[in-house]
Structure 1
Amino acid sequence: MRTYRLTILLAMAFTATACSMAPTYTRPDSPLPLVYAQHPGGGGDNAATLGWHEVMPDPRLRALVDLALKNNRDLKLAVLNAEAVHSQFRVERSARLPSLGANSQLQRTGGAGQSSLQGMPGRMDQRTATLDLAAYEVDLFGRVKSLSDAAWERYLSSEEGTRSARIALVAGVAQAYVEQRVATEQLDLARRTLTDWQESLRITRALHGADQVGGIDLAQAQGQVDQAEADISAREREVAQADNALALLVGAALPTDLPAPLALDASPVLTTLPAGLPSDLLVHRPDVAQAEHDLKAANADIGAARAAFFPRITLTGSYGFGSGQLSDLFKGASKTWSFTPQISQPIFQGGKLRAELRLAEIRKSSAVVGYEKALQVAFREVSDGLAGQATYGGQLDAQRRVVDSATRRAKLSGLRYEAGQDSRLELLDAQRQRYAAEQSLLDLRRAALTNTVNLYKALGGGEA
């Protein structure tokens, strides 16, 4: 009968429903407008629904991103961090279940008397085999559940952190690739310019030999060539540094058998991305989702802090067999059991519990602010990207026209200089303007492609 009552009590304890003390969670009001100013129509697709393969059609860039996703150390650390947080959640969740253990023990005691169990002077043996229930907390006020809920939300937060690291890695490789491609184009431009200016120097020397130009013209032509050679050295350094940056992100030396790249004019990264609505950021931005999971975890921590004011009920017990003889250990008469319920109620702790509750409430308030800030940062980044997307196309077209005009002027000035109609200074100015215009066009292409990469990241990226 006692065993039956014990079973009933344990079943009631294990199935008791916790009364959560955590505040009811409500998502904070979004500070975001309904539509983007640069995209007033709103709606439609979102770049986050596109895989990064679709956003980045360049085969060489795709190969580099694939390598980075396999080898990058920062991404591996993010994955390991998420796994560690998940293990911590499993630790917290296990506290909601009873902890059972088997125990077998031989106790031998000695004395001067005769042992009635053994028939031997000075020794008595007692053997036990029990199934033990460790101190199990009956979670009537939801303390353990709140701790488990908080651990779960922190695990989800770490998962979003991993997703954020993945998106940042894809965007980082794309941006480093753009830098490397532009640096290579700048180097090619510097080499072509050196060839042109060396030809100009050859012509100037010939004119100087024929006494048609003075020494100043010759010195200017030589200085122009020297400047081009200095530019080549600078561009070679930039290419090497860009290669190093790519290798770091990829996590290995750059392979020599990479696919042929697309030309910069062919847009290795899509130049136009769909933005959707600002409300999409709540779903697609991993940092926003991470901030909300942190907020939910802080909300659950308040429940645990509140429950700490109430009594804590723990159960300890065992059921098994005990006998002096091993052969009698599992006979019915040798059954043994114990059941020890315990109630502990905090009375005076010097304000510790109130301080812990206040700390939990402050942390939740901070999490609310962090969530709102994450939304505002996301909106600003998307708005900046859309502003760039709306204006870079026209700026590139205008800069191409500038290059065409500068090229025509430099060509005409060269012909006029050879005919003695223009001074060396006018030719030098025309050649420098053409060189500067071509450099500006490359810089503008880099800015436009980088803007697209940043917009892809700001919209929440896209899975492979």
Structure 2
Amino acid sequence: MRHRRSSRTLALGCVTAALMVTLAGCVNLAPKYESPAPVIPGVWPGVDIYGAPPAKPGADVSMLGWRDFFVDDQLREVVSTALSHNRDLAVATLNIAAARAQVADINADLFPSISSNTSATFSRTGRVAGSDDTASGNLANQSAISESLSTEIGFSSYELDIFGRIRNQRAAAVQSLLATTADRRAVRISLIGEVAASWLTLGADKALLALARNTLTNRLASLRLVNARHDYGIASGSDVANARSAVEAVRVDIASLVARVARDENALNLVAGTTLAPALLPEARLPEQAVIERLPAGVPSEVLLDRPDVLAAEYRLAGDYASIGAARAAFFPRISLTAATGWATRGLTGLFADNNRSWGVTPQINVPIFDGGARAAQLAIARIQREIDAQTYEQTLRTAFREVADALALRATIDDQIAAQTALVAANRRSYRLSKARYRAGIDSYLDTLIEQRTLYTSQQSAIQRRLAREINLVTLYKTLGGGDLASSSRAARPLAPLTEAVSTP
């Protein structure tokens, strides 16, 4: 009868514990999260990109894979190498693993930590000198061996998360994980853009170096011509000095460009994470087409909401709401439970017999009374952090809008700049040829020819730099619109978890 009553008591205790665990999922003190209203205009500021009609619904630069955006095979290979070897990207990947482990660690607190303990004791007691048994010769009672064996299984100090403290800590950790994942995407996109810009810059500087060397050859030829005319008394000493000055000036440019090209290669190798093979380096000219000519036109500004840096800022803001819930829960009692069941016997047999069974349940409640304002301070910190992250989110979104607007502003005029610069180079070349012919004919002084020569050289340098600006502008526009997260356009993007899921789910 007593055994049956004990079983009933144990069952009642288990049911009570189960009800308490069930109730634990019904209270969430976190404020309801609502996505911030967009703080940017719906359209870009007065720029009609390419003068094209609005894009069809669904046009999204972020869905354009980088292998489709970059059309130069060398550049594709360099980007692929950087994605495999760059240390910053590797660190960002490890940060995700650490954040995932943090979530698992906090999540474990939602479950009891069950352990088992088994012990055995063997002891021998010796005879007592001078006892009656010894005198009477009763050797059987001179010593004794005792045995005891016990085993138990249970959990200790398991907190019943009635007010959602642990669940909100887990929700905050989940949002931190999502933010860290978005951070890695941002690092990846930024890396692709940096690699492309470094590769294109190296090619442009090599082209400038080749131009300078070609200009040096032409100026040396002019110097020889002026010297010959000077020997015949046709050219003045001033003409010779001007010609030599022009030669030395371009030699200074060559020395400077040689050092710049070396620095460009070092920078490219650093961002690639390894020393690139010479075959992957650009030639001494900009490729005819390194990236695609056009991006989808009429892209709405709402695409910025999906930029990884903007998403990361919003995930952190959402996590602050969960942190407030955890701080609020600290004002309420914390209930913990310790329970164990086991068996004990004095011998090695019959350990698991019903009459050797024991169990115990120890509930404990911790009611906060006075802590000198510590909990109130923690709640204030959580609320202030929410305001900080709200401002950070807004600033991140505004910065993203400006980056795209600046890139669009340049994109709207860069083709006209290149066309005008190309025409200017052609005009300067014709002017230089005419001036050189007039000098040979003795009509103009060498100073006029030298001015035209320098003007042509400067315009040729500007032409290379404007072409570089055009290519980098396309890369910047692609990057600022969130492109580069996918390798191929045919691969669907894998969305992250909803922002409200970890906050509102019990």
TM-score normalized with structure 2 length: 0.86
What per-residue deviation string (whole Å, max 9, x for no partner) do you get for residues 138-157 of structure 1? 11111111000000000000
The structure-2 alpha-carbon separation of the partners of 1:53 and 1:144, relative to structure 1 and needing over 3 Å to count, comes to: same
Please say which of residues 100-109 and 1-10 is displaced more in the overlay.
Answer: 100-109
Question: In 2, are the aligned partners of 1:82 and 1:159 still within 8 Å (CA)?
Answer: yes
What residue identity is the alignment partner of 2:424?
A: V
What residue identity is the alignment partner of 1:94?
A: A
User: Structure 1: how far apart are the matches of 2:195 and 2:38?
Assistant: 32
User: Structure 2: how far apart are the matches of 1:184 and 1:167?
Assistant: 26
User: Structure 2: how far apart are the matches of 1:2 and 1:433?
Assistant: 101
Task: Provide the residue aligned with 1:400 in structure 2.
Answer: 422
The structure-2 alpha-carbon separation of the partners of 1:458 and 1:88, relative to structure 1 and needing over 3 Å to count, comes to: same
In the alignment, which of 60, 63, 67 is matched to residue 77 of structure 2? 63
What residue identity is the alignment partner of 2:174?
A: W
The structure-2 alpha-carbon separation of the partners of 1:413 and 1:103, relative to structure 1 and needing over 3 Å to count, comes to: same
Q: Please show how residues 155-234 of structure 1 align to structure 2 within 5 Å.
A: 155-234=177-256
Q: Please show how residues 288-437 of structure 1 align to structure 2 within 5 Å.
A: 288-437=310-459
Question: In 1, are the aligned partners of 2:85 and 2:274 still within 8 Å (CA)?
Answer: yes
Task: Provide the residue aligned with 1:4 in structure 2.
Answer: 11
User: Structure 2: how far apart are the matches of 1:457 and 1:111?
Assistant: 83
In the alignment, which of 17, 20, 28 is matched to residue 20 of structure 1? 28
What per-residue deviation string (whole Å, max 9, x for no partner) do you get for residues 269-304 of structure 1? 234323621111112x00000001000111100000
Question: In 1, are the aligned partners of 2:206 and 2:283 still within 8 Å (CA)?
Answer: no
Q: Which one has a bigger Cα radius of gyration?
A: 2
1:287 correspondence with 2:309: yes
Task: Provide the residue aligned with 2:133 in structure 1.
Answer: none
Question: In 2, are the aligned partners of 1:60 and 1:261 still within 8 Å (CA)?
Answer: no
1:249 correspondence with 2:271: yes
Q: CA deviation at 1:263?
A: 5.9
What residue identity is the alignment partner of 1:327?
A: T
User: Structure 2: how far apart are the matches of 1:120 and 1:15?
Assistant: 59
Q: What's the Cα RMSD here?
A: 2.2
Q: CA deviation at 1:127?
A: 2.3
Q: CA deviation at 1:104?
A: 1.2
What residue identity is the alignment partner of 1:100?
A: I
What residue identity is the alignment partner of 1:86?
A: R
What residue identity is the alignment partner of 1:30?
A: P
Residue segments in structure 1 that go unaligned for 5+ positions in a row: none
What per-residue deviation string (whole Å, max 9, x for no partner) do you get for residues 429-459 of structure 1? 0000000001111111222222222211111
What residue identity is the alignment partner of 1:91?
A: D
Q: CA deviation at 1:260?
A: 7.4
1:77 correspondence with 2:91: yes
The structure-2 alpha-carbon separation of the partners of 1:423 and 1:361, relative to structure 1 and needing over 3 Å to count, comes to: same
The structure-2 alpha-carbon separation of the partners of 1:347 and 1:267, relative to structure 1 and needing over 3 Å to count, comes to: same
Question: In 2, are the aligned partners of 1:271 and 1:449 still within 8 Å (CA)?
Answer: no
What per-residue deviation string (whole Å, max 9, x for no partner) do you get for residues 384-410 of structure 1? 111111110101111111111111111
In the alignment, which of 85, 108, 116 is matched to residue 94 of structure 1? 108
What residue identity is the alignment partner of 1:177?
A: W
Please say which of residues 58-67 and 445-454 is displaced more in the overlay.
Answer: 445-454
What per-residue deviation string (whole Å, max 9, x for no partner) do you get for residues 132-174 of structure 1? 1122111111111100000000000000011011001100100
Q: Please show how residues 22-171 of structure 1 align to structure 2 within 5 Å.
A: 22-37=30-45, 38-39=47-48, 43-44=55-56, 45-106=59-120, 125-171=147-193
Residue segments in structure 2 that go unaligned for 5+ positions in a row: 1-7, 129-140, 488-506
- The share of aligned pairs that are identical, in percent, is 36
Q: CA deviation at 1:191?
A: 0.8
